[in-house]
Each structure stands twice: as C-alpha cells, then as structure tokens.
Amino acid sequence: MEQEQIGNQAKIRNFVILAHIDHGKSTLADRFLELTGTVDKRKMCSQYLDMMDLEREKGITIKMKPVRMRFKDYVLNLIDTPGHVDFNYEVSRSLAVVEGAILLVDATKGIQAQTIGNLELAKKQNLVIIPVVNKIDLSNARIGKTCEELAQLLNINKAEIIKISAKYGKNIEQVLDAVIKKISPPRTILGKARALIFDSQYDVYKGVIAYVRVFDGKIKKGEKIYLIQGDAEGEAKEVGIFKPELIETQELQFGEIGYIATGIKEPGKVRVGDTIIKSKISPPHQNLVWGQKSKIMNMKRLKTISSKLKRKVILKERNWKKKKQGYLPACIALILLTMKKYQFGWEIMW
C-alpha cells in the first residue's frame, strides 16, 4: 500500500495533453514518465500509457490514461487523451477534472483540425493553455511558421511557445516547469467530500472502480459512499492513485485524481459524470454537474418539478382512459354493422 500523503494541496497540478493524431503526444508522455522516474527504466517502453493491444498495433491512443508523477516536490496528475476525433468524448471527460492543458503541435504539419477542436473544448472549461511545438529535430520542420500560427491562434507572444523534441527529450523539463508555474493548484469550495466520476472499469471482486477527481473534502478507505445521480449506496472498499497502475492508498484528498472501488456490482449505477459523496443528500446540496465544476442543485425544487410532471402524466392517462371508454363501444358497433352488411361471420357472432 502506498503511504504517500501530499499534505499541501498547493503542490498539486492537474493537466492533460491535447494534440491532433500523430503529433507526438504519447512520446511526450513517455518522456514525462522517464524524467520524473515514475516508471522503472527496465519496464519502460514506447507508448507506455497505451496499454491496449489495439493501441500499440495502430499507434494511436483510444482510451484516456491518468498517471501521477512527482517533479521538484510537486505532484503532477497527467491525463493522456486520444487525438483522433472519433474518441473526442474521452477528451471532454478529462477536461472536466483538470485546471490546465498542454497544446501540442507538430512542427512539420502545423495546426490541424483536431488541434482547434480540442482547444475550443479546453477554452469552454477555462483551462490554462501551455503551447508546445514538437518535432523540431526533423529536417522538414517549419518551426517559425508553426510558432507564428500558434501565437495568432492563442493571441500570445511567440516567445511563450516552448519548442521541444519529444523523441530525443529536448526541452522536456521546460514543459513541466511551465506546468508548475502557469497552472493553478486545485481549490476547494465546500468542506464536505465530493468527487466527480470521469471514467470507470469493472472488477469481479471490487465491483465498479470509479476514476474520480476529488473536488472537496476527502474520502477514506472503508467509508460509506453515495452516488447522487445513480441513487446508489456503496462502500469505498479501496481508494488509490494511478502510477499508472492502480496503487492503493489510505485516502484521497481534495485536488487529487485517483480511483474508488465502490463495491457496487451493477455498472449502470456508476455513471460517468456522477458525484460521489459520503451520505445521502439533505437539500440544498452542491452537486458536481458534468461539464461544469460546481453548480448548486436545489433538490427540493427538483422534487417539486418531478411531482408536477408525475401529475401531468397521471392526468393524461385518465383522459386517455375516458376517451378509450367512449371509443370502444363505437368501434364494436361499427364492426357489427360491417359484418351485417356483408353477411360475414354473422352466424358465428349469434
């Protein structure tokens, strides 16, 4: 069991890497893992975070991958996201749980469609953008032009753009320094524990394992938990962090990204975008809404709305029954008259 405790949440930075497909995002993630010593050199391989066989075969990222790193006494929670437009939902989910993003652009190809698409998603979440130009080691790299295009797109000075070679590890440390300097640490709003689910996986013994970002309070192993949207109760059978393998800890504090083994055996009850708290809601309660990091949800008002809708449904059903009672005799009479007219089955009826 991991005994690592942060204590000072001001030392946490949560961020993602955004890029168009084949712009070197997975290679940059590999260099981060090497530089921070997160993965042992003997275990290290190309595209380390792409753990699916299909991802390695095709050379693309399909599933987001969270990982915790340590760099200069800071805890860096990285979420590696897919670059292909078909997996855009994976990107939008990861953006809801971080404060910043590295926008990576290939110097040989320049700004492409998914670069802009991902940037717009990040802007909607008000994330800090760190511009980085990759593959400067290639002979056909258009470094000046790419930096100029990126500076115009972000409305910044070209000097703010970091130029790197992820393949050879050039200027990688500058990127992590920028993450520490520019991205703000997590902030808490309430004292009570709240965690947002951004992904999940199923385990036969532990039930649904929810990938979460804790926005307030802390959740300890063995505590009772409640999922607001799923209306399901469970127990934090295990809590932990990503290294990138699942590493168990004693608790998850606000600002941390980790996982909770809920013990719930019905996957439909643990939904992406749901909020985990410690006990059932007593209105009003602050719920973490998907796409928005905090929004007050007055549960009393929601109950009033739902009861009104229920009354409308009941009234519609009653009206339909009344109409049906009137329609049925008329339909029978019409059938009988038709049968009498054409003398069809009359002897059977009588």
Model pLDDT for residues 90-118, shown as the tens digit of each residue: 778 889 999 999 999 999 999 988 888 88
Report yes or no on 46 lying in a domain.
yes
* Residues 160 and 227 occupy one common structural domain: no
User: Residue 305's pLDDT is what?
Assistant: 44
Per-residue pLDDT at 88 exceeds 90: no
* Residues 133 and 35 occupy one common structural domain: yes
pLDDT digits (tens, 9 = 90+) for 61-70: 556 788 999 9
Number of structural domains, the chain?
A: 3
pTM: 0.76
Per-residue pLDDT at 345 exceeds 50: no
User: Residue 115's pLDDT is what?
Assistant: 86
CATH of the domain at 25: 3.40.50.300
| Distances in whole angstroms, Cα of residue 332 to Cα of each of 35, 216, 327 | 83, 65, 9
For residues 26-54, average pLDDT: 80
* Residues 219 and 332 occupy one common structural domain: no
d(CA 251, CA 218): 7
Helix (H, G, I), strand (E, B) or coil at 295: strand
pLDDT band at 303 (very low <50, low <70, confident <90, very high): very low
User: Residue 141's pLDDT is what?
Assistant: 94
- Sheet with 238-242: list strands edge to edge: 232-235, 224-227, 275-277, 194-203, 207-216, 257-261, 238-242, 246-249
Report yes or no on 154 lying in a domain.
yes
* Residues 134 and 48 occupy one common structural domain: yes
* Residues 83 and 109 occupy one common structural domain: yes
* Residues 105 and 64 occupy one common structural domain: yes
Residue 217: name the closest of 251, 261, 183, 258 by CA: 251
92 or 16: whose pLDDT is higher? 16
Domain that holds residue 325: 301-349
* Residues 149 and 45 occupy one common structural domain: yes
For residues 328-350, average pLDDT: 53
Residue 177: name the closest of 116, 111, 130 by CA: 130
* Residues 225 and 277 occupy one common structural domain: yes
C-beta of residue 278 within 8 angstroms of C-beta of residue 220: no
Instruction: Provide the b/e sequence for 157-190 (b: ≥16 CB within 10 Å).
Output: eeeebbbbbbbeeebbeebbebbeeebebbeeee
CATH of the domain at 238: 2.40.30.10
CB atoms under 10 Å from CB of 269, counted, come to 18
* Residues 63 and 113 occupy one common structural domain: yes
User: Residue 338's pLDDT is what?
Assistant: 60
Per-residue pLDDT at 122 exceeds 70: yes
- Please list the alpha-helical segments (H only) found in 65-112: 88-95
User: Residue 113's pLDDT is what?
Assistant: 83
The H or E element that residue 154 is part of is helix 143-154
Structure-block tokens of residue 122: 């990040």
For residues 238-247, average pLDDT: 93
